[in-house]
Copies of this chain bind each other. A is one copy, B any other.
Amino acid sequence: TLRVLRPRQDIVRDQDRPSQCCLILDGFAFRYKALGDGKRQILSFHIPGDMPDLQSLHLEVMDHSLATLATSKVALIPHDTVRAFIRAHPRIGDVFWRDTLIDAAVFREWVTNVGRREAYGRIAHLLCELFVRLRAVGLTNGDSYPLPIPQAELADATGLSTVHVNRTMQELRGDGLIKTNKASVVIKDWDGLREAGEFDPTFLHLRKQAA
């Protein structure tokens, strides 16, 4: 049930009825909805330790797609196995439930981000979220972290155009909040970035960190 996937590859597709869940071991993934006219909305980014389609355990048909961003290693676990596991260890069932609830909390934050912040704050907020989540699983390097997300995908995640994402990131850099390298970001001014994005990590519900 182990697989290595190339970048930009769908793991599950909208309307599918999957019989297994996906656990990300290494790499990056994202969930998205494709709309008419080539438009696309990215719903979330996923990092190692996440189970992005855990909801398929109880929702038969997918209402969105899941794809890799970079080359990734994933474990595919049959629903039956998961269910048996939960029956054997009820505590784990609650952990999984909680995990999907955090998922929902992140979506709520995204609704807010896209609905009520302008470009500058939106991107700042997203960069904050990724930093905190990556740090929680030990994937940051001081103030720097890997960001293998092209601007086109940042655009689809924030509901903006690529062009505008580009210009806005230039602003963020110009204001000394971040620095970008190849496929990574350095946070130069955490407080500034936090304020710009009105970022409050409550919605991530970090405690001890499951998984």
Contact = CB atoms under 8 A, between A and B. Distances in A.
16 contacts: A15-B202, A33-B112, A35-B112, A36-B198, A41-B112, A41-B116, A58-B97, A59-B101, A61-B202, A61-B205, A63-B205, A104-B107, A107-B108, A107-B111, A114-B115, A114-B159
A97 B97 contact: yes
A39 interface: yes
Given A33-B112, A58-B97, 9 more contacts: A41-B111, A43-B108, A58-B94, A59-B101, A63-B203, A63-B205, A114-B115, A116-B156, A116-B159
Contacts of A59: 98, 101-102, 105, 205
Interface string A31-58: 1010110011101000000000001001
Interface string A1-33: 000000000000001000000000000000101
Interface of A: prevailing SS = helix
Interface string A186-211: 00000000000010001101000000
A28 B152 CA distance: 39
Nearest 5 CB-CB pairings of A with B: A115-B159, A107-B107, A104-B104, A41-B112, A58-B98
Interface residues of A, number: 43
A105 B111 CA distance: 12
Given A15-B202, A94-B58, A35 B105 contact: no
A8 to B, nearest CB: 20
Given A58-B97, A59-B98, A101-B58, A111 B40 contact: no
Contacts of A114: 111, 114-115, 159
A144 interface: no
Contacts of A162: none
A119 to B, nearest CB: 12
A116 B35 contact: yes
A61 B94 CA distance: 17
Contacts of A205: 59-61, 63
